[in-house]
Structure 1
Amino acid sequence: MLSIGAFSKLCRVSTKTLRYYAEIGLLMPSEINPANGYRYYAVEQLETMLFINRMKGYSFSLDEIRELLKSKEAGDEGLCRAFLQKKRAIEKQMRDCECVLEQLGGDLEALQQGRSIMAYMEQLRVQLVKAPDMRLLSVRKMVQAEEYPKEYAGCFGRLFQKIALEKLKMTAPPMALFHSAEYTPAGLDTEFAVPVEQAAAGTRGFCPGLCLKTEVRGAYAQLPAAYAKQLEWAQREGYECTDALYEVYVTDPVEAAAESEYLTEVYCPVKKITL
Protein backbone atom coordinates (compact mmCIF):
# COMPACT_ATOMS: atom_id res chain seq x y z
CA MET A 1 0.00 0.00 0.00
CA LEU A 2 1.11 3.58 -0.63
CA SER A 3 0.42 6.57 1.56
CA ILE A 4 -1.37 9.47 -0.08
CA GLY A 5 1.93 11.38 -0.02
CA ALA A 6 3.89 8.61 -1.73
CA PHE A 7 1.09 8.07 -4.26
CA SER A 8 0.98 11.81 -4.92
CA LYS A 9 4.74 11.95 -5.53
CA LEU A 10 4.76 8.98 -7.91
CA CYS A 11 1.85 10.30 -9.99
CA ARG A 12 2.87 13.96 -9.73
CA VAL A 13 -0.60 14.89 -8.53
CA SER A 14 -1.13 17.00 -5.41
CA THR A 15 -2.72 15.45 -2.33
CA LYS A 16 -5.38 18.18 -2.56
CA THR A 17 -6.29 16.93 -6.04
CA LEU A 18 -6.38 13.31 -4.85
CA ARG A 19 -8.75 14.29 -2.04
CA TYR A 20 -10.96 16.10 -4.54
CA TYR A 21 -10.99 13.07 -6.85
CA ALA A 22 -12.15 11.00 -3.88
CA GLU A 23 -14.91 13.54 -3.10
CA ILE A 24 -16.34 13.31 -6.60
CA GLY A 25 -15.92 9.53 -6.77
CA LEU A 26 -13.34 9.56 -9.54
CA LEU A 27 -10.57 7.76 -7.64
CA MET A 28 -11.22 6.45 -4.14
CA PRO A 29 -8.42 5.45 -1.74
CA SER A 30 -8.02 1.73 -1.44
CA GLU A 31 -8.08 2.07 2.34
CA ILE A 32 -8.74 4.77 4.95
CA ASN A 33 -7.46 4.23 8.50
CA PRO A 34 -10.52 4.74 10.75
CA ALA A 35 -8.37 5.78 13.67
CA ASN A 36 -6.49 8.68 12.07
CA GLY A 37 -8.11 9.15 8.65
CA TYR A 38 -4.88 8.41 6.78
CA ARG A 39 -5.50 7.44 3.16
CA TYR A 40 -3.72 4.63 1.35
CA TYR A 41 -3.69 3.61 -2.30
CA ALA A 42 -2.99 0.24 -3.87
CA VAL A 43 -0.08 -0.07 -6.29
CA GLU A 44 -2.58 -1.14 -8.95
CA GLN A 45 -4.24 2.30 -8.70
CA LEU A 46 -1.13 3.93 -10.13
CA GLU A 47 -2.23 2.80 -13.59
CA THR A 48 -5.68 4.29 -13.04
CA MET A 49 -4.18 7.62 -11.95
CA LEU A 50 -1.86 7.65 -14.97
CA PHE A 51 -4.88 6.95 -17.19
CA ILE A 52 -6.73 9.90 -15.64
CA ASN A 53 -3.75 12.18 -16.24
CA ARG A 54 -3.52 11.02 -19.85
CA MET A 55 -7.21 11.71 -20.43
CA LYS A 56 -6.86 15.18 -18.92
CA GLY A 57 -4.06 15.76 -21.41
CA TYR A 58 -6.61 15.01 -24.15
CA SER A 59 -8.91 17.71 -22.65
CA PHE A 60 -11.54 15.29 -21.39
CA SER A 61 -13.53 16.71 -18.47
CA LEU A 62 -13.56 14.88 -15.15
CA ASP A 63 -17.15 13.78 -15.77
CA GLU A 64 -16.09 12.41 -19.15
CA ILE A 65 -13.11 10.64 -17.58
CA ARG A 66 -15.41 8.96 -15.09
CA GLU A 67 -17.37 7.50 -18.00
CA LEU A 68 -14.15 6.57 -19.80
CA LEU A 69 -13.05 4.56 -16.78
CA LYS A 70 -16.28 2.58 -17.05
CA SER A 71 -15.67 2.06 -20.77
CA LYS A 72 -12.12 0.96 -20.04
CA GLU A 73 -13.43 -1.71 -17.71
CA ALA A 74 -16.06 -2.83 -20.23
CA GLY A 75 -13.67 -3.04 -23.19
CA ASP A 76 -12.03 -0.95 -25.87
CA GLU A 77 -15.08 -0.21 -28.04
CA GLY A 78 -16.37 2.65 -25.89
CA LEU A 79 -12.91 4.13 -25.60
CA CYS A 80 -12.46 4.02 -29.37
CA ARG A 81 -15.68 5.96 -29.90
CA ALA A 82 -14.75 8.57 -27.30
CA PHE A 83 -11.23 8.95 -28.68
CA LEU A 84 -12.50 9.32 -32.24
CA GLN A 85 -14.93 12.07 -31.17
CA LYS A 86 -12.21 13.86 -29.21
CA LYS A 87 -9.78 13.55 -32.13
CA ARG A 88 -12.31 15.18 -34.44
CA ALA A 89 -12.98 17.94 -31.90
CA ILE A 90 -9.27 18.69 -31.51
CA GLU A 91 -8.78 18.67 -35.28
CA LYS A 92 -11.59 21.23 -35.58
CA GLN A 93 -9.98 23.35 -32.88
CA MET A 94 -6.72 23.23 -34.82
CA ARG A 95 -8.47 24.32 -38.02
CA ASP A 96 -10.18 27.13 -36.12
CA CYS A 97 -6.84 28.23 -34.66
CA GLU A 98 -5.28 28.19 -38.12
CA CYS A 99 -8.08 30.46 -39.37
CA VAL A 100 -7.58 32.82 -36.42
CA LEU A 101 -3.84 32.92 -37.08
CA GLU A 102 -4.44 33.64 -40.75
CA GLN A 103 -6.85 36.45 -39.91
CA LEU A 104 -4.49 37.82 -37.26
CA GLY A 105 -1.63 37.78 -39.76
CA GLY A 106 -3.77 39.63 -42.29
CA ASP A 107 -4.75 42.27 -39.72
CA LEU A 108 -1.14 42.69 -38.66
CA GLU A 109 -0.07 43.16 -42.27
CA ALA A 110 -2.86 45.71 -42.79
CA LEU A 111 -1.77 47.71 -39.74
CA GLN A 112 1.85 47.64 -40.84
CA GLN A 113 0.77 49.02 -44.24
CA GLY A 114 -1.35 51.74 -42.65
CA ARG A 115 -4.70 50.18 -43.59
CA SER A 116 -7.74 49.65 -41.35
CA ILE A 117 -8.33 46.11 -40.13
CA MET A 118 -12.06 46.71 -40.70
CA ALA A 119 -11.57 47.38 -44.41
CA TYR A 120 -13.10 43.97 -45.22
CA MET A 121 -16.53 45.43 -44.40
CA GLU A 122 -16.23 47.61 -47.50
CA GLN A 123 -16.43 44.44 -49.60
CA LEU A 124 -19.85 43.55 -48.16
CA ARG A 125 -22.74 44.64 -50.37
CA VAL A 126 -26.34 45.12 -49.24
CA GLN A 127 -29.08 44.39 -51.77
CA LEU A 128 -32.81 45.04 -51.45
CA VAL A 129 -34.50 41.89 -52.80
CA LYS A 130 -37.84 40.09 -52.80
CA ALA A 131 -37.12 36.76 -51.10
CA PRO A 132 -39.23 33.81 -52.30
CA ASP A 133 -41.94 32.18 -50.22
CA MET A 134 -40.88 28.82 -48.78
CA ARG A 135 -42.16 25.79 -46.93
CA LEU A 136 -39.80 25.01 -44.05
CA LEU A 137 -39.20 21.73 -42.28
CA SER A 138 -37.80 22.98 -39.02
CA VAL A 139 -37.02 22.54 -35.35
CA ARG A 140 -37.05 25.52 -33.00
CA LYS A 141 -35.32 25.77 -29.64
CA MET A 142 -33.44 28.04 -27.24
CA VAL A 143 -29.68 27.78 -27.81
CA GLN A 144 -26.76 29.06 -25.76
CA ALA A 145 -23.91 30.68 -27.71
CA GLU A 146 -21.42 27.90 -26.95
CA GLU A 147 -23.91 25.21 -27.99
CA TYR A 148 -24.33 26.32 -31.61
CA PRO A 149 -21.75 23.98 -33.22
CA LYS A 150 -23.37 20.96 -31.56
CA GLU A 151 -26.92 22.15 -32.27
CA TYR A 152 -26.21 22.86 -35.94
CA ALA A 153 -24.91 19.33 -36.40
CA GLY A 154 -27.63 17.66 -34.33
CA CYS A 155 -30.67 19.60 -35.57
CA PHE A 156 -29.74 19.57 -39.25
CA GLY A 157 -28.82 15.90 -38.94
CA ARG A 158 -32.32 15.09 -37.67
CA LEU A 159 -33.96 17.21 -40.37
CA PHE A 160 -31.96 15.55 -43.17
CA GLN A 161 -32.85 12.15 -41.73
CA LYS A 162 -36.56 13.03 -41.79
CA ILE A 163 -36.22 14.29 -45.37
CA ALA A 164 -34.66 10.99 -46.40
CA LEU A 165 -37.18 8.82 -44.54
CA GLU A 166 -40.23 10.68 -45.85
CA LYS A 167 -38.73 11.18 -49.33
CA LEU A 168 -39.14 14.95 -49.21
CA LYS A 169 -37.54 17.19 -51.82
CA MET A 170 -35.27 20.03 -50.73
CA THR A 171 -35.86 23.27 -52.63
CA ALA A 172 -33.01 25.37 -51.18
CA PRO A 173 -30.00 25.05 -48.88
CA PRO A 174 -30.44 24.73 -45.09
CA MET A 175 -30.92 27.88 -43.07
CA ALA A 176 -31.20 29.21 -39.52
CA LEU A 177 -33.67 31.84 -38.33
CA PHE A 178 -33.04 33.92 -35.22
CA HIS A 179 -36.29 34.93 -33.55
CA SER A 180 -34.92 36.54 -30.37
CA ALA A 181 -34.38 40.28 -30.23
CA GLU A 182 -31.41 39.67 -27.92
CA TYR A 183 -29.58 36.97 -26.00
CA THR A 184 -31.26 35.94 -22.77
CA PRO A 185 -30.09 33.67 -19.93
CA ALA A 186 -32.09 30.92 -21.68
CA GLY A 187 -30.19 31.48 -24.92
CA LEU A 188 -31.27 32.61 -28.38
CA ASP A 189 -34.58 31.52 -29.91
CA THR A 190 -33.32 29.71 -33.02
CA GLU A 191 -35.10 27.81 -35.77
CA PHE A 192 -33.04 25.34 -37.79
CA ALA A 193 -34.79 24.80 -41.11
CA VAL A 194 -34.60 23.17 -44.52
CA PRO A 195 -36.89 24.40 -47.34
CA VAL A 196 -38.88 21.49 -48.81
CA GLU A 197 -41.44 21.09 -51.57
CA GLN A 198 -44.05 18.93 -49.83
CA ALA A 199 -46.20 19.65 -46.81
CA ALA A 200 -45.46 17.26 -43.94
CA ALA A 201 -45.54 17.10 -40.16
CA GLY A 202 -43.16 19.73 -38.83
CA THR A 203 -43.38 22.03 -41.85
CA ARG A 204 -44.65 25.61 -41.99
CA GLY A 205 -44.97 28.39 -44.49
CA PHE A 206 -42.43 31.20 -44.50
CA CYS A 207 -42.97 34.41 -46.48
CA PRO A 208 -40.07 36.76 -45.79
CA GLY A 209 -41.00 39.20 -48.55
CA LEU A 210 -38.82 42.28 -48.94
CA CYS A 211 -35.35 41.65 -47.48
CA LEU A 212 -31.88 43.05 -47.23
CA LYS A 213 -29.47 40.45 -48.58
CA THR A 214 -25.71 40.22 -48.11
CA GLU A 215 -23.41 37.49 -49.42
CA VAL A 216 -20.54 36.56 -47.14
CA ARG A 217 -17.61 34.53 -48.41
CA GLY A 218 -15.43 33.01 -45.73
CA ALA A 219 -15.69 31.94 -42.11
CA TYR A 220 -18.94 32.17 -40.18
CA ALA A 221 -17.15 34.53 -37.77
CA GLN A 222 -17.63 37.23 -40.43
CA LEU A 223 -21.44 37.00 -40.38
CA PRO A 224 -21.97 39.62 -37.64
CA ALA A 225 -20.26 42.14 -39.93
CA ALA A 226 -23.01 41.52 -42.51
CA TYR A 227 -25.71 42.29 -39.94
CA ALA A 228 -23.87 45.47 -38.94
CA LYS A 229 -23.65 46.50 -42.58
CA GLN A 230 -27.38 45.84 -43.10
CA LEU A 231 -28.30 47.86 -39.99
CA GLU A 232 -26.25 50.81 -41.25
CA TRP A 233 -27.94 50.56 -44.66
CA ALA A 234 -31.44 50.32 -43.14
CA GLN A 235 -30.93 53.36 -40.92
CA ARG A 236 -29.51 55.38 -43.79
CA GLU A 237 -32.24 54.42 -46.28
CA GLY A 238 -35.19 54.51 -43.86
CA TYR A 239 -36.07 50.83 -43.42
CA GLU A 240 -36.81 48.72 -40.34
CA CYS A 241 -36.66 44.98 -39.61
CA THR A 242 -40.00 43.19 -39.65
CA ASP A 243 -39.23 39.52 -38.99
CA ALA A 244 -36.55 37.05 -37.92
CA LEU A 245 -33.08 37.53 -39.35
CA TYR A 246 -31.92 34.40 -41.16
CA GLU A 247 -28.86 32.83 -42.74
CA VAL A 248 -28.78 30.49 -45.74
CA TYR A 249 -25.80 28.13 -45.83
CA VAL A 250 -25.18 27.85 -49.55
CA THR A 251 -21.92 25.93 -49.04
CA ASP A 252 -21.92 22.63 -47.17
CA PRO A 253 -19.02 22.93 -44.66
CA VAL A 254 -18.37 19.19 -44.99
CA GLU A 255 -17.62 19.56 -48.70
CA ALA A 256 -15.51 22.72 -48.40
CA ALA A 257 -11.74 22.34 -48.27
CA ALA A 258 -11.39 25.49 -46.15
CA GLU A 259 -13.55 28.11 -44.45
CA SER A 260 -12.49 30.60 -47.09
CA GLU A 261 -14.70 28.65 -49.53
CA TYR A 262 -17.90 29.10 -47.47
CA LEU A 263 -20.71 31.10 -49.05
CA THR A 264 -23.47 32.28 -46.72
CA GLU A 265 -26.41 34.53 -47.54
CA VAL A 266 -27.60 36.80 -44.73
CA TYR A 267 -31.19 38.12 -44.88
CA CYS A 268 -33.08 40.76 -42.91
CA PRO A 269 -36.82 41.13 -43.71
CA VAL A 270 -37.63 44.85 -43.85
CA LYS A 271 -40.22 47.45 -44.66
CA LYS A 272 -39.98 51.14 -45.51
CA ILE A 273 -40.56 53.43 -42.55
CA THR A 274 -43.53 55.69 -43.17
CA LEU A 275 -43.68 59.07 -41.43
Structure 2
Amino acid sequence: MLSIGEFSNICKVSTKTLRYYAEIGLLEPSEVNPENGYRYYSIDQLEKMLFISRLKSYSFSLEEVKDILRDDAEKSDKLYTAFLRKKQEIEKQLYDYSQLLNQLDSDMAAIEQGESIMSYMDDINVHLVDVPQMCLLYVRKSVQQDDFPLEYAKSYEKLFKTIATTHLTMCGAPMVLFHSSEYTPAGLDTEFAIPVKEVVTGTRDFTPGLCLKTVVKGPYSDLASVYVKQTEWAEKEGYKCNGPLFEIYVTDPSQVADAKDNITEVYYPVKKISMKW
Protein backbone atom coordinates (compact mmCIF):
# COMPACT_ATOMS: atom_id res chain seq x y z
CA MET A 1 0.00 0.00 0.00
CA LEU A 2 1.07 3.56 -0.67
CA SER A 3 0.27 6.65 1.33
CA ILE A 4 -1.42 9.50 -0.52
CA GLY A 5 1.89 11.38 -0.44
CA GLU A 6 3.82 8.47 -1.95
CA PHE A 7 1.15 7.88 -4.57
CA SER A 8 1.13 11.59 -5.40
CA ASN A 9 4.92 11.68 -5.80
CA ILE A 10 5.09 8.59 -8.02
CA CYS A 11 2.26 9.69 -10.35
CA LYS A 12 3.19 13.40 -10.29
CA VAL A 13 -0.34 14.38 -9.23
CA SER A 14 -0.99 16.71 -6.30
CA THR A 15 -2.64 15.37 -3.15
CA LYS A 16 -5.29 18.07 -3.60
CA THR A 17 -6.15 16.62 -7.01
CA LEU A 18 -6.25 13.08 -5.60
CA ARG A 19 -8.64 14.17 -2.87
CA TYR A 20 -10.86 15.82 -5.49
CA TYR A 21 -10.79 12.71 -7.67
CA ALA A 22 -11.91 10.69 -4.65
CA GLU A 23 -14.65 13.22 -3.90
CA ILE A 24 -16.16 12.90 -7.38
CA GLY A 25 -15.72 9.12 -7.49
CA LEU A 26 -13.08 9.10 -10.20
CA LEU A 27 -10.30 7.44 -8.19
CA GLU A 28 -11.04 6.54 -4.59
CA PRO A 29 -8.31 5.35 -2.18
CA SER A 30 -8.08 1.62 -1.66
CA GLU A 31 -8.24 2.09 2.12
CA VAL A 32 -8.95 4.90 4.56
CA ASN A 33 -7.80 4.60 8.18
CA PRO A 34 -10.98 5.14 10.23
CA GLU A 35 -8.99 6.50 13.19
CA ASN A 36 -6.97 9.24 11.50
CA GLY A 37 -8.49 9.48 8.00
CA TYR A 38 -5.21 8.67 6.28
CA ARG A 39 -5.66 7.51 2.70
CA TYR A 40 -3.85 4.61 1.10
CA TYR A 41 -3.66 3.49 -2.50
CA SER A 42 -2.86 0.06 -3.89
CA ILE A 43 -0.04 -0.64 -6.35
CA ASP A 44 -2.70 -1.64 -8.91
CA GLN A 45 -4.09 1.91 -8.86
CA LEU A 46 -0.86 3.40 -10.19
CA GLU A 47 -1.59 2.39 -13.79
CA LYS A 48 -5.18 3.56 -13.44
CA MET A 49 -3.88 6.99 -12.41
CA LEU A 50 -1.53 7.02 -15.40
CA PHE A 51 -4.47 6.12 -17.64
CA ILE A 52 -6.50 9.01 -16.20
CA SER A 53 -3.58 11.39 -16.75
CA ARG A 54 -3.26 10.20 -20.35
CA LEU A 55 -6.93 10.95 -20.99
CA LYS A 56 -6.59 14.35 -19.34
CA SER A 57 -3.61 15.13 -21.60
CA TYR A 58 -5.97 14.63 -24.56
CA SER A 59 -8.28 17.28 -23.06
CA PHE A 60 -11.02 14.87 -22.01
CA SER A 61 -13.19 16.39 -19.29
CA LEU A 62 -13.43 14.62 -15.94
CA GLU A 63 -16.99 13.59 -16.77
CA GLU A 64 -15.77 12.08 -20.05
CA VAL A 65 -12.98 10.26 -18.19
CA LYS A 66 -15.47 8.83 -15.71
CA ASP A 67 -17.67 7.67 -18.55
CA ILE A 68 -14.74 5.92 -20.24
CA LEU A 69 -13.64 4.26 -17.00
CA ARG A 70 -17.10 2.79 -16.44
CA ASP A 71 -16.34 0.30 -19.22
CA ASP A 72 -13.22 -0.81 -17.37
CA ALA A 73 -11.66 -1.77 -20.69
CA GLU A 74 -8.79 0.29 -22.07
CA LYS A 75 -9.10 -1.34 -25.51
CA SER A 76 -12.86 -1.19 -25.87
CA ASP A 77 -14.71 0.03 -28.95
CA LYS A 78 -16.11 2.84 -26.83
CA LEU A 79 -12.60 4.04 -26.01
CA TYR A 80 -11.58 3.95 -29.67
CA THR A 81 -14.67 5.94 -30.63
CA ALA A 82 -13.93 8.50 -27.91
CA PHE A 83 -10.33 8.82 -29.14
CA LEU A 84 -11.49 9.22 -32.74
CA ARG A 85 -13.89 12.01 -31.76
CA LYS A 86 -11.20 13.74 -29.71
CA LYS A 87 -8.73 13.43 -32.59
CA GLN A 88 -11.22 15.16 -34.89
CA GLU A 89 -11.70 17.94 -32.31
CA ILE A 90 -7.95 18.49 -32.03
CA GLU A 91 -7.53 18.46 -35.82
CA LYS A 92 -10.24 21.12 -36.06
CA GLN A 93 -8.46 23.20 -33.41
CA LEU A 94 -5.16 22.83 -35.26
CA TYR A 95 -6.80 23.94 -38.50
CA ASP A 96 -8.38 26.94 -36.78
CA TYR A 97 -5.05 27.91 -35.23
CA SER A 98 -3.27 27.52 -38.57
CA GLN A 99 -5.82 29.90 -40.09
CA LEU A 100 -5.25 32.36 -37.27
CA LEU A 101 -1.49 32.16 -37.78
CA ASN A 102 -1.92 32.83 -41.51
CA GLN A 103 -4.14 35.82 -40.75
CA LEU A 104 -1.67 37.08 -38.16
CA ASP A 105 1.20 36.79 -40.66
CA SER A 106 -0.87 38.68 -43.23
CA ASP A 107 -1.69 41.47 -40.76
CA MET A 108 1.93 41.76 -39.67
CA ALA A 109 3.03 42.00 -43.32
CA ALA A 110 0.45 44.76 -43.91
CA ILE A 111 1.76 46.72 -40.93
CA GLU A 112 5.35 46.34 -42.17
CA GLN A 113 4.25 47.79 -45.52
CA GLY A 114 2.50 50.69 -43.82
CA GLU A 115 -0.98 49.42 -44.73
CA SER A 116 -4.11 49.09 -42.64
CA ILE A 117 -4.97 45.56 -41.54
CA MET A 118 -8.59 46.44 -42.41
CA SER A 119 -7.76 47.20 -46.06
CA TYR A 120 -9.28 43.83 -47.06
CA MET A 121 -12.68 45.49 -46.55
CA ASP A 122 -12.06 47.39 -49.82
CA ASP A 123 -12.21 44.06 -51.69
CA ILE A 124 -15.73 43.22 -50.46
CA ASN A 125 -18.15 43.97 -53.29
CA VAL A 126 -21.75 45.00 -52.61
CA HIS A 127 -24.41 44.92 -55.33
CA LEU A 128 -28.01 46.12 -55.24
CA VAL A 129 -30.29 43.38 -56.59
CA ASP A 130 -33.99 42.57 -56.71
CA VAL A 131 -34.60 39.06 -55.33
CA PRO A 132 -37.87 37.47 -56.53
CA GLN A 133 -40.45 35.77 -54.34
CA MET A 134 -39.76 32.16 -53.40
CA CYS A 135 -41.56 29.36 -51.58
CA LEU A 136 -39.63 28.09 -48.56
CA LEU A 137 -39.84 24.78 -46.76
CA TYR A 138 -38.58 25.83 -43.35
CA VAL A 139 -37.80 25.12 -39.72
CA ARG A 140 -37.69 28.09 -37.36
CA LYS A 141 -36.24 27.98 -33.87
CA SER A 142 -34.17 29.89 -31.30
CA VAL A 143 -30.53 28.83 -31.47
CA GLN A 144 -27.68 29.54 -29.08
CA GLN A 145 -24.51 30.71 -30.82
CA ASP A 146 -22.45 27.65 -29.83
CA ASP A 147 -25.21 25.30 -31.03
CA PHE A 148 -25.31 26.49 -34.65
CA PRO A 149 -23.21 23.67 -36.19
CA LEU A 150 -25.44 21.01 -34.58
CA GLU A 151 -28.67 22.85 -35.43
CA TYR A 152 -27.60 23.30 -39.06
CA ALA A 153 -27.11 19.54 -39.35
CA LYS A 154 -30.33 18.61 -37.54
CA SER A 155 -32.55 21.13 -39.32
CA TYR A 156 -31.34 20.41 -42.83
CA GLU A 157 -31.54 16.67 -42.22
CA LYS A 158 -35.20 17.17 -41.31
CA LEU A 159 -35.86 19.38 -44.34
CA PHE A 160 -34.16 17.06 -46.83
CA LYS A 161 -36.05 14.11 -45.37
CA THR A 162 -39.35 15.98 -45.87
CA ILE A 163 -38.40 16.80 -49.47
CA ALA A 164 -37.60 13.16 -50.17
CA THR A 165 -40.68 11.64 -48.51
CA THR A 166 -43.18 14.14 -49.96
CA HIS A 167 -41.49 14.33 -53.40
CA LEU A 168 -40.96 18.09 -53.37
CA THR A 169 -38.84 19.83 -55.99
CA MET A 170 -35.90 21.92 -54.80
CA CYS A 171 -35.41 25.12 -56.75
CA GLY A 172 -32.59 26.72 -54.81
CA ALA A 173 -29.73 26.13 -52.39
CA PRO A 174 -30.23 25.81 -48.60
CA MET A 175 -30.44 29.12 -46.79
CA VAL A 176 -30.69 30.61 -43.31
CA LEU A 177 -32.67 33.70 -42.30
CA PHE A 178 -31.84 35.62 -39.14
CA HIS A 179 -34.98 37.19 -37.67
CA SER A 180 -33.49 38.51 -34.42
CA SER A 181 -31.88 41.90 -34.34
CA GLU A 182 -29.58 40.75 -31.53
CA TYR A 183 -28.64 37.75 -29.42
CA THR A 184 -30.87 37.10 -26.42
CA PRO A 185 -30.66 34.58 -23.54
CA ALA A 186 -33.08 32.42 -25.54
CA GLY A 187 -30.77 32.48 -28.56
CA LEU A 188 -31.07 33.85 -32.08
CA ASP A 189 -34.42 33.54 -33.88
CA THR A 190 -33.25 31.50 -36.87
CA GLU A 191 -35.04 30.04 -39.88
CA PHE A 192 -33.43 27.15 -41.77
CA ALA A 193 -35.01 26.89 -45.21
CA ILE A 194 -34.85 25.34 -48.68
CA PRO A 195 -36.66 26.87 -51.70
CA VAL A 196 -39.15 24.44 -53.29
CA LYS A 197 -41.65 24.65 -56.18
CA GLU A 198 -44.65 23.15 -54.41
CA VAL A 199 -46.84 24.89 -51.84
CA VAL A 200 -47.60 22.41 -49.06
CA THR A 201 -47.96 22.31 -45.29
CA GLY A 202 -44.70 23.57 -43.81
CA THR A 203 -43.94 26.04 -46.60
CA ARG A 204 -44.35 29.79 -46.79
CA ASP A 205 -43.87 32.61 -49.27
CA PHE A 206 -40.79 34.78 -48.87
CA THR A 207 -40.44 38.03 -50.81
CA PRO A 208 -37.02 39.56 -50.15
CA GLY A 209 -37.35 42.29 -52.81
CA LEU A 210 -34.54 44.84 -52.92
CA CYS A 211 -31.35 43.51 -51.29
CA LEU A 212 -27.65 44.16 -50.99
CA LYS A 213 -25.84 41.05 -52.20
CA THR A 214 -22.27 39.92 -51.65
CA VAL A 215 -20.77 36.64 -52.85
CA VAL A 216 -18.17 35.29 -50.43
CA LYS A 217 -15.60 32.60 -51.11
CA GLY A 218 -14.01 31.41 -47.90
CA PRO A 219 -14.77 30.35 -44.32
CA TYR A 220 -17.99 31.39 -42.64
CA SER A 221 -15.95 33.41 -40.14
CA ASP A 222 -15.50 35.96 -42.96
CA LEU A 223 -19.23 36.73 -43.11
CA ALA A 224 -19.21 39.23 -40.21
CA SER A 225 -16.98 41.53 -42.28
CA VAL A 226 -19.49 41.32 -45.14
CA TYR A 227 -22.37 42.42 -42.94
CA VAL A 228 -20.28 45.35 -41.69
CA LYS A 229 -19.49 46.40 -45.28
CA GLN A 230 -23.15 46.08 -46.33
CA THR A 231 -24.29 48.15 -43.34
CA GLU A 232 -21.74 50.84 -44.18
CA TRP A 233 -22.80 50.80 -47.86
CA ALA A 234 -26.48 51.16 -46.92
CA GLU A 235 -25.75 54.10 -44.64
CA LYS A 236 -23.66 55.85 -47.27
CA GLU A 237 -26.15 55.32 -50.12
CA GLY A 238 -29.29 56.20 -48.18
CA TYR A 239 -30.82 52.76 -47.50
CA LYS A 240 -31.94 51.02 -44.35
CA CYS A 241 -32.53 47.39 -43.40
CA ASN A 242 -35.97 46.13 -44.42
CA GLY A 243 -36.17 42.49 -43.33
CA PRO A 244 -34.25 39.51 -42.01
CA LEU A 245 -30.68 39.13 -43.17
CA PHE A 246 -30.15 35.82 -44.94
CA GLU A 247 -27.42 33.61 -46.34
CA ILE A 248 -27.58 31.12 -49.22
CA TYR A 249 -25.08 28.26 -49.14
CA VAL A 250 -24.09 27.70 -52.76
CA THR A 251 -21.65 24.95 -51.77
CA ASP A 252 -22.35 22.15 -49.29
CA PRO A 253 -19.80 22.55 -46.46
CA SER A 254 -19.80 18.77 -45.91
CA GLN A 255 -18.64 18.32 -49.52
CA VAL A 256 -15.93 21.00 -49.46
CA ALA A 257 -12.47 19.79 -48.49
CA ASP A 258 -11.20 23.21 -47.42
CA ALA A 259 -13.26 26.00 -45.85
CA LYS A 260 -11.60 28.51 -48.19
CA ASP A 261 -13.60 26.93 -51.02
CA ASN A 262 -16.99 27.61 -49.41
CA ILE A 263 -19.22 29.86 -51.52
CA THR A 264 -21.91 31.84 -49.71
CA GLU A 265 -24.29 34.52 -50.92
CA VAL A 266 -25.03 37.10 -48.24
CA TYR A 267 -28.21 39.22 -48.53
CA TYR A 268 -29.19 42.37 -46.69
CA PRO A 269 -32.80 43.45 -47.49
CA VAL A 270 -33.09 47.22 -47.81
CA LYS A 271 -35.39 50.07 -48.74
CA LYS A 272 -34.57 53.62 -49.78
CA ILE A 273 -34.83 56.18 -47.03
CA SER A 274 -37.36 58.91 -47.82
CA MET A 275 -35.73 62.33 -47.91
CA LYS A 276 -37.43 65.07 -45.88
CA TRP A 277 -37.07 68.60 -47.10
TM-score, with length taken from structure 1: 0.91
Secondary structure of the 2:256 match is: coil
Match of 1:86 in 2: 86
Match of 2:182 in 1: 182
* 1:179 positional shift: 1.5
* 1:73 positional shift: 4.1
Q: CA deviation digits over 1:209-246, x for unaligned, max 9?
A: 22111111212111111111111111112211122111
Secondary structure of the 1:141 match is: strand
Residue 47 to residue 103, structure 1, CA distance change in 2 (3 Å) = same
**1:33 alignment partner AA:** N
1:194 equivalent to 2:194? Answer yes
Match of 2:3 in 1: 3
1:171 equivalent to 2:171? Answer yes
Secondary structure of the 1:137 match is: strand
Secondary structure of the 2:181 match is: coil
Q: How does 1:256-275 map to 2 (within 5 A)?
A: 256-275=256-275
Match of 2:124 in 1: 124
Q: How does 1:218-233 map to 2 (within 5 A)?
A: 218-233=218-233
RMSD over aligned Cα atoms: 2.1
* 1:166 positional shift: 4.0
Whether the 8 Å contact between 1:32 and 1:40 is mirrored in structure 2 is: yes
For residues 243 and 204 of structure 1, what CA distance do their matches in structure 2 show? 15
Whether the 8 Å contact between 1:72 and 1:78 is mirrored in structure 2 is: no
Q: How does 1:15-94 map to 2 (within 5 A)?
A: 15-73=15-73, 76-94=76-94
State the percentage of identical aligned residues: 57
For residues 15 and 186 of structure 1, what CA distance do their matches in structure 2 show? 41
**2:65 alignment partner AA:** I
Runs (5+) with no aligned partner, structure 2:
none
* 1:123 positional shift: 1.0
**2:36 alignment partner AA:** N
Q: CA deviation digits over 1:147-190, x for unaligned, max 9?
A: 32333333333433443444433322222221111122332222
Q: How does 1:240-255 map to 2 (within 5 A)?
A: 240-255=240-255
* 1:13 positional shift: 1.0
Q: CA deviation digits over 1:66-125, x for unaligned, max 9?
A: 111124449712122222221112111111112111111111111111221111111111
Secondary structure of the 1:254 match is: helix
Q: CA deviation digits over 1:190-224, x for unaligned, max 9?
A: 22222233345543332222211111121211111
Runs (5+) with no aligned partner, structure 1:
none
Match of 1:144 in 2: 144
Secondary structure of the 2:251 match is: coil
Whether the 8 Å contact between 1:128 and 1:213 is mirrored in structure 2 is: yes
Whether the 8 Å contact between 1:142 and 1:188 is mirrored in structure 2 is: yes
Residue 198 to residue 268, structure 1, CA distance change in 2 (3 Å) = same
Number of residue pairs aligned between Structure 1 and Structure 2? 275
For residues 6 and 163 of structure 1, what CA distance do their matches in structure 2 show? 64
TM-score, with length taken from structure 2: 0.90
